[in-house]
Amino acid sequence: MSKELFVFDHDGTLTDPVATHDAYTDIFENQFARATGLPREVITKYIEPERKELRTSPEIYGWENDQGFIVTPATFDTYVLNRIAAKRAIVKMREALEPNIPDQNAVSQFLGDLHYASYPQLDPFYRPDAAYTMRELLPLGKLVIVSSSKPDHLLTKLQPFLRKNNIFDDNIEVRGNAQKHLISPNWERVPWSMKLPGLDTRDVLLRRENYGSIILSLGQRPYIIVGDGGEFDLITPHALQMKTILITSIFTPPWEANFFRTQSSLEGIANYIITDLGK
């Protein structure tokens, strides 16, 4: 029996994006309130309309990285959504003369500090079929989890989950710091960009060198790449002519769902892989 290589994203892919969003939003807003001294209800009053606006028109709003490139829809996940909503809310809070609001030059650092204070407090909400999927796939090969998060953050969440479900990690590898949001203009392994049908406001950028290089360094061509963000997790592997599956959720924009092969559950992904492999 040949041993395959499966590459999965972690947050939003192995974990439940809706439960994570609810919990992270609560933590994030509490941290915002603590940092400014404003009541939590005031924070919610300003941020919630911005989240709603971003989710209403995901084709318009994107996450602009520090290089000035739009690298994913603003609604990609709860971390991006809350960060961009908070950035927009801060402008309106400043206009309303709310106290202790960071000035324009300090906003990026302020939002970064909020995230790094919030993320470690977030419990891991693994999807109910995550354990099933691991148990089914690990006998067939190796699972590599590739994430932009720090490896120690991932392991802090993953290891208790594996122990609880009696899953041995011999064939599981964690690769963090993938920096999927960074674009390397001079990386010519893939084209600069491509059009996704249904997304008419911009092209999607392919040259995510650090992420692509991690996948290419695994020593074996992955059988499949699985992620919850088409543009974030899958577009570079797609450009490298690798097979991909998008696991969909309420955050999935329609153009990504129409472009990538999709499943709505990890169990569905596992069963697809098993059937495709003929096992």
Mean pLDDT over 78-89 rounds to 97
Domain edges within the chain: 4-16+126-277, 18-121
Instruction: Give pLDDT tens digits for 2-53.
Output: 699 999 999 999 999 999 999 999 999 999 999 999 999 999 999 999 999 9
Q: Is 240 helix (H, G, I), strand (E, B) or coil?
A: coil
4-8 and 224-227 beta bridge pairing: parallel
pLDDT band of 70, cuts 50, 70, 90: very high
Please state, rounded to an integer, the average pLDDT across all residues of the chain: 96
Q: In the chain, which ranges are continuous DSSP H helix?
A: 17-36, 40-56, 78-95, 107-118, 130-137, 151-164, 209-216, 235-239, 254-259, 266-277
Q: Long-range contact list for 27-33, CB < 8 A, 24+ apart? A: 27/118, 27/121, 27/122, 28/82, 28/86, 28/114, 28/115, 28/118, 31/114, 31/117, 31/118, 32/86, 32/114
pLDDT band of 184, cuts 50, 70, 90: very high
Q: Is 8 helix (H, G, I), strand (E, B) or coil?
A: strand
Give the per-residue pLDDT at 181. 96
Give the per-residue pLDDT at 279. 60
Give the per-residue pLDDT at 153. 86
Instruction: Give pLDDT tens digits for 106-133.
Output: 999 999 999 999 998 999 999 999 999 9
Give the per-residue pLDDT at 2. 60
Indicate the CATH number for domain 4-16+126-277.
3.40.50.1000
Instruction: Give pLDDT tens digits for 199-252.
Output: 999 999 999 999 999 999 999 999 999 999 999 999 999 999 999 999 999 999
Give the per-residue pLDDT at 278. 87
pLDDT band of 96, cuts 50, 70, 90: very high
Give the per-residue pLDDT at 1. 43
The structure's pTM equals: 0.94
